[in-house]
A and B are shown apart, each in its own frame.
Chain A
C-alpha cells in the first residue's frame, strides 16, 4: 500500500514535470536548441504571478489567464531578440547565449525578489484532498496532471492536424526544403518558442501553488525537463509526457526509500535509460 501510494504520488509529480518538458521537447524538436534559461523562465513567471496576486488580490485562475499570454509574449521576444541570431548547425552559440541569459535572469530575480521562497495563495485548493480507497490524493496535483494531459494532447493534435503543425514538422525535418515550399522558418520558430514558453505559464502557476519558488530554483526545473525528454525519447510530445511520468515515479519511490535519495533516484533512472536505451523509451533507434 505504501509503495502504491508512492507510485500514485510519483505519477502526480510527473504531471508537474510534463508541464516543463513539453516546451523543451517542442523547441529541441524544431530548432535543435536547448534553452538553458527554460527553468529560469518558469521561476520568473511564477514570481511575477505571485507579486500580482499579492498586489491586486488575484485568484490563481486569474493569474493563469494573465501569465499564459505573458509567457507567449516572452517566448516570442526571446526568439526575435536572441534565438533567431543563434539558431544553426553549431550548438555552441545558442547554448552560450541562453546560458548567459540564465545567469542574468537568476541574479536579476535575486535583486528584485530576494532569495526568499514564496508561494501563490490558492484559495484553499492546495489543501483539499480526495480519499480514494485509503489513499489521500491532493486535489491540486490531480488538476496539474489533468492539465498536463490536456496540454500534451492539444500540442500533439496541433502538430499533427494544423497547418502550423505541418509547417513546424517540415521545418524540423529539413529547414531549407521547408523554406523552398514557402514556409518562413523564422515565423515558425517564433511561434514554436511562443507556445513553449506559453506552456511554462501553466507550469509557473502550478509550481507556485504546489510548493514554493525561489530565484535559484530554475536549474533544477531545467534538469527535470531535460531528463523527462531524454527518458521519453526525443521528438515526441507523448514521449516527453511518459518520460515525465517515469521521472516522477522514480523520484516518488526514491523519496519513500530515503528522503535524501529522491532526486538522486530520478538521476539514476535517467542514467540507466541513457546507458541501455539512448534513443529513449519511445524514440526510434
Chain B
C-alpha cells in the first residue's frame, strides 16, 4: 500500500453574487413603508375611534411578534410577557403622573423598567426546562400583579389614572398615538426583520432548527437566548406603555392580564410560527374575529382555544406555512440565494 499525496490546487472562488431581495419582497417593503407613513399620518385622515382600534391592532402585532421571536426562534415559550407590559405601563403612569415627567418622554423612559427587570428574571427562569420555563414566566407575571396590588407607590389595587394627558388637545394626543403606533411597528417588526437579516439572524434560524447543532457550529445559544429575552421584554414594554397611555387608566388585573398571552399564542400559531408574515396574517385574523365575534364572549373563546389546539395537533406551521409551501413569495425575505451571473 502506498500513500498517495493529493496535491491541492488553489481553488478560485466562483464568481457569484448573493441575492437577498426578491420581487415579492420589494413589493411588500414598498407597501410596508407606505403603511407606516399612513399610520403616522392617521390624525389627518382617520377618526379618533379608528385610531384607537388601529392602536389595539398594532399592540397585538407587536406583542405577537415578540412572542414569535421568543417561542419561534429562541425556543423560549413564555406565557408571562404581560409582566413586562404591565411593568412598563405602570412605570409610565408613575413617571408621568406621580413624578410629572412629560408623558411622551416618559413612554421611552418607562422602557428601562422591563429591560432592568428582564435581566435577573432571565437568570432565574432559564434554569427551568422547556415547559417549566413557560409556567415560571406565568408565576413571575402573577408576582408582578400581586406586588402591584400591594404597592402604595402605584396606589395598590385601586390603580392609577393618567390625568396629565388632559392638558393636551385631542388632536395632539391623536398625533402622539399615531406616531407611537408607527414607531412600535417599526421597532418590533422592522427590528425583527433587521435582526433576522443580520448575522444574528443566521444564528437565530440555526438555533430555531436545532439548538444543539447550532451550538456545535459556534452559535452562543445561551447568550442569544438572553438577548432575545431582554429585547422581547422591551418590545412588550413598549406595547404596554402605548396601550395604557391610550387607556388612560391602569390597575393590576388589566396591567397583568393573561389575555395577552392567549392573544399572542393564538395569533402566532394560527398565522404561522417563525415568520413575520405569519404574525401579520394572524393579527389581522384575530383583530377581525374579535370585532365580529367578540360579542359571543365565552363561545368565541371556546372556538379560539379549539383552533389553537387543532393547529398544534395538525398544522404546526400555521397559515403562512401552508401558503409558503405552495407559493415561494416571501414578504420579508431573509434567505441568501447564490446567483451565478455567467448562467
Contact = CB atoms under 8 A, between A and B. Distances in A.
Q: Does more than half of chain B's interface fall in helix, strand or loop, or is it mixed? A: helix
Contacts of A199: none
B131 interface: yes
Contact of A230 (B132, B140, B310): B132
Given A99-B265, A107-B301, A274 B124 contact: yes
A103 B311 contact: no
A15 to B, nearest CB: 22
Contacts of B132: 28, 34, 226, 230, 234
Interface string A254-266: 0000101101100
Interface string B291-334: 00000011101101111111111001000000000000000000
B299 A111 contact: yes
B286 interface: no
Interface of B: 71, 75, 77, 79, 124-125, 127-128, 130-132, 134-136, 138-140, 142-143, 146-147, 149-150, 258, 262, 265, 269, 273, 297-299, 301-302, 304-313, 316
Q: Does more than half of chain A's interface fall in helix, strand or loop, or is it mixed? A: helix
Complex A-B, nearest 5 residue pairs according to Cβ-Cβ distance, in ascending order: A104-B305, A100-B308, A103-B305, A100-B309, A91-B130
A20 B142 CA distance: 19
Nearest to A270: B139
Interface in A210-269: 219, 222-223, 226-227, 230, 234, 258, 260-261, 263-264, 267-268
Contact of A32 (B130, B297, B298, B316): B130
Interface string A266-280: 011011001100100
A223 B79 CA distance: 12
- Of A85, A96, A261, the most chain B CB neighbours within 10 A belong to A96
B301 A103 contact: yes
B139 A110 contact: no
Interface of A: 28, 32-34, 36, 82, 85-86, 91-97, 99-108, 110-111, 219, 222-223, 226-227, 230, 234, 258, 260-261, 263-264, 267-268, 270-271, 274-275, 278
A97 B77 CA distance: 13
Given A94-B131, A95-B131, A268 B312 contact: no
A34 B138 CA distance: 13
- Of B75, B124, B149, B308, the most chain A CB neighbours within 10 A belong to B308
- Of B128, B135, B307, the most chain A CB neighbours within 10 A belong to B135
Contacts of A102: 305
B319 to A, nearest CB: 15
B258 A219 contact: yes
A207 to B, nearest CB: 19
A263 B306 CA distance: 31
Nearest to B268: A96
Contact of B308 (A99, A223, A260): A99
B135 to A, nearest CB: 5
Given A104-B309, A107-B298, A260-B150, A99 B79 contact: yes
A264 B128 contact: no
25 contacts: A28-B131, A34-B134, A82-B309, A91-B77, A91-B131, A91-B134, A93-B312, A96-B309, A97-B312, A99-B79, A100-B307, A100-B312, A101-B305, A103-B308, A107-B305, A227-B139, A230-B132, A261-B150, A264-B146, A264-B147, A264-B150, A268-B143, A270-B139, A274-B127, A278-B127
